[in-house]
Chains A and B, each alone.
Chain A
Amino acid sequence: MPGEKYHQDGFNTLTSTADSAASLTVNASTAHRIWLYEINMGNVGTPADLTSIYLIGQVTAPGSSGGAITSTLLSDAAGQAARSVFHSNLTSEPTYVNTSTTSGLAVVADGDLLRVPLNHRATYRWVAPPGGEFVAPATTTDGFGGKADHASATTDYMIGFHWTE
């Protein structure tokens, strides 16, 4: 497995149609695998006692935002900067393998990696053991995306990724 570890968080505002908070994809010109080993999710601000489904899915294109965010290098400070592309607060959606998410997050389909119904006042953390990470192929712009929705809530939510590449 490759060596350097990275981290970044994505944010977005809950809307009735799922709007992604984060996308993490392979560099378009230098293909490399991504090994996603930790995910953190939750709402921020003053969330009400409501529940949303949070979905982490495979994507084949990163979507777009105000601009890709530089990811934090967690290991050796002299290590290589992340080649992966990370977007937060996406303005156009990533291309999810699970295309049924466009009709609602409650519809399960191939391409789902993680689907959790979570109270807005709760937090979620998942950690993979070595060798148990989610893997994205070294294929241009493939990777992961995370999204949630709610019919009425308008609080912000966060999805954080830790990965190696």
Chain B
Amino acid sequence: MADAEGYALITDPYGGVKESSTFKCVHCQFLVHVHFGSGIERGYCFLCDAPTCGKPRCNDGCYPFMKRIEEAENRHRLHKAMERGYDR
């Protein structure tokens, strides 16, 4: 898979090793293991140009997880500034 990112490895109780490629949903960071032919439908964001996990919320619009993280950090900075009583 062209967009597979990571690598997962499971050693089973009988000595077998199962390897799979993984990708991270570009909207929620959920980690998806790629199993060819599984029939599970995922999604794709053409704005991010990356796959999504397939949850409806992640398929309905474009809301990249890095944007959420930056928003959380901005809220945190604002909160800290308000605690100090002034803005730097």
Question: Is there contact, CB below 8 Å, between B72 and A137?
Answer: yes
Contact with B along A14-39 (1 / 0, CB 8 A): 00000000000000000101000000
Interface residues of A toward B: which range? 20 to 34
Shortest Cβ distance from A46 into chain B, in angstroms? 12
Shortest Cβ distance from A56 into chain B, in angstroms? 8
Q: How far is the CA of A137 from the CA of B70 in the complex (A)?
A: 7
Q: Is A76 an interface residue (CB 8 A)?
A: no
Contact with B along A121-146 (1 / 0, CB 8 A): 11111111100101111111010000
Question: Is there contact, CB below 8 Å, between B24 and A134?
Answer: yes
Give residues of chain B (19-56) contacting chain A, Cβ–Cβ below 8 Å.
22-24, 28-31, 55
Question: Is there contact, CB below 8 Å, between A137 and B12?
Answer: no
Q: Which residues of B contact A110 (CB under 8 A)?
A: 28, 55, 57
Q: How far is the CA of A126 from the CA of B24 in the complex (A)?
A: 12
Q: Which of B5, B30, B72 contacts A132 (CB 8 A)?
A: B5
- Given the known interface contacts A110-B28, A127-B6, A138-B76, the answer about A119 and B22 at a Cβ–Cβ threshold of 8 Å is no
Shortest Cβ distance from A110 into chain B, in angstroms? 7
Q: Which residues of A contact B75 (CB under 8 A)?
A: 139
Interface residues of B toward A: which range? 20 to 34
Name which residue of chain B comes closest to A132, CB basis: B5
- Given the known interface contacts A110-B57, A119-B12, A119-B13, the answer about A139 and B72 at a Cβ–Cβ threshold of 8 Å is yes
Name which residue of chain B comes closest to A38, CB basis: B6
Q: Which residues of B contact A4 (CB under 8 A)?
A: none
Q: Which 5 A-B pairs have the closest CB atoms?
A: A121-B13, A132-B5, A139-B76, A137-B72, A137-B69
Question: Using a CB–CB distance below 8 Å, which chain B residues touch chain A?
Answer: 5-13, 22-24, 28-31, 55, 57, 65-66, 68-70, 72-73, 75-76
CB pairs A–B below 8 angstroms (24 shown): A31-B76, A33-B69, A110-B57, A112-B30, A114-B30, A114-B31, A118-B10, A119-B12, A121-B13, A122-B11, A124-B9, A126-B6, A126-B7, A126-B8, A126-B9, A127-B6, A127-B8, A128-B24, A129-B5, A129-B6, A129-B7, A137-B68, A137-B72, A139-B75
